[in-house]
Amino acid sequence: MLEIRKIDKGVGAEVIGLDPGKEFDDETRRLLKAAFFENGALVFRDLDIDYDFQDKLCRMLIDDDGPPPAERRDNFFVSNKKEDGAAPYGRLLFHADMMWAEEPLKVLSLYATNVEPGSASTSVASGVSAFERLPDDLRHRVEDLHAVQASGQAYNRGGAELASPKRDQERSRVTPITLPHPRTGQPILYVSQQNTREIVELPGDKGEAVLQELFDELYAPDRVYEHEWRNGDLLVLDNLAVQHGRGEVALDGPTRTLRKVIAPIPKLKYERPVYDRT
């Protein structure tokens, strides 16, 4: 029987007792999906899993129990040591992956294949619990507004430590500032430090001041779960309900290699950001 232990940060739950050697039975599926959508993030410790299991788990959470996708992404690592590692250095502001795309990812997972003590934690914050906590006056001021979500980082919101890869093309879209979660219907406060450039109805400093008020709620330290990595950890995120970020990573710092598996595979094909390693 699985044990689900809530993390006391308004986001995340630890799952204890999952046996990757067994097929998912109906009860396991039910428990994992319920915990995932209720908490926005699942944490598993001391798992020994391969790419196929990680992929199967991510897809199961969104009811895809079919065969694996034709595109096998078993060589995608966030790493400061692997030659082709993604985001090999720098700090990443809070974001949801592909928030700027019409169809952002639904599930994002990171599995620690090789991490050394002292490597940067992953920070997780919930747009659902942030919305619930918004003071009434702030909620009324923003709930009918729209935001520009763009690729790249908002460099004005960080310093020289921000990762700054090169992209061939920047992308953006406009979304409402609050969105209903497609699965649970819960409202999500859908702005992020990294991707939200401005409020459409309040351009410039006025809008930035409102965004900072929203970020203060979203990223209040008592509402951010810091995942300190150990080998064999698996972190699975509801990429619509929650955001993630990380502190600075250095090429010559402690090894930090995380296998990243997503679901579903986005239809939009885009150029991977390029990091200068010289």
Minimum CB distance to Fe ion, residue 183 (Å): 20
Minimum CB distance to Fe ion, residue 108 (Å): 7
Tokens standing for residue 249: 């990573």
Minimum CB distance to Fe ion, residue 13 (Å): 20
Of 97 and 217, which CB lies nearer to Fe ion in the complex structure? 97
Q: Give the residue nearest to Fe ion (CB).
A: 97
Q: Residue 23: name the closest of 48, 51, 60 by CA.
A: 60
Tokens standing for residue 191: 């702005």
Tokens standing for residue 246: 């990380």
- Asked if 69 and 264 touch (Cβ cutoff 8 Å), the reply is yes
Minimum CB distance to Fe ion, residue 238 (Å): 13
Element (H, E) at 102: none
Pairing of strands 13-16, 41-44: parallel
Give the CA angle between residues 146, 149, 155 to the nearest 5°. Answer: 125
**Residues found near Fe ion in the complex (CB under 5 A):** 97
Element (H, E) at 152: none
d(CA 15, CA 2): 7
Q: DSSP assignment of 226-241, as one string?
A: EE---TT-EEEEETTT
Minimum CB distance to Fe ion, residue 233 (Å): 16
> Which residues make Cβ contacts (< 8 Å) with residue 245, sequence separation at least 6?
91, 92, 93, 94, 95, 122, 123, 125, 193, 194
Buried b or exposed e, range 63-73, using 16+ CB within 10 angstroms = ebeeeeeeeee
Q: Cα 35 to chain center, whole Å?
A: 17
d(CA 80, CA 115): 10
Q: Which residue matches tokens 């995120």?
A: 237
Minimum CB distance to Fe ion, residue 67 (Å): 26
Of 97 and 233, which CB lies nearer to Fe ion in the complex structure? 97
Minimum CB distance to Fe ion, residue 194 (Å): 9
Of 55 and 97, which CB lies nearer to Fe ion in the complex structure? 97
Minimum CB distance to Fe ion, residue 195 (Å): 10
d(CA 252, CA 238): 31
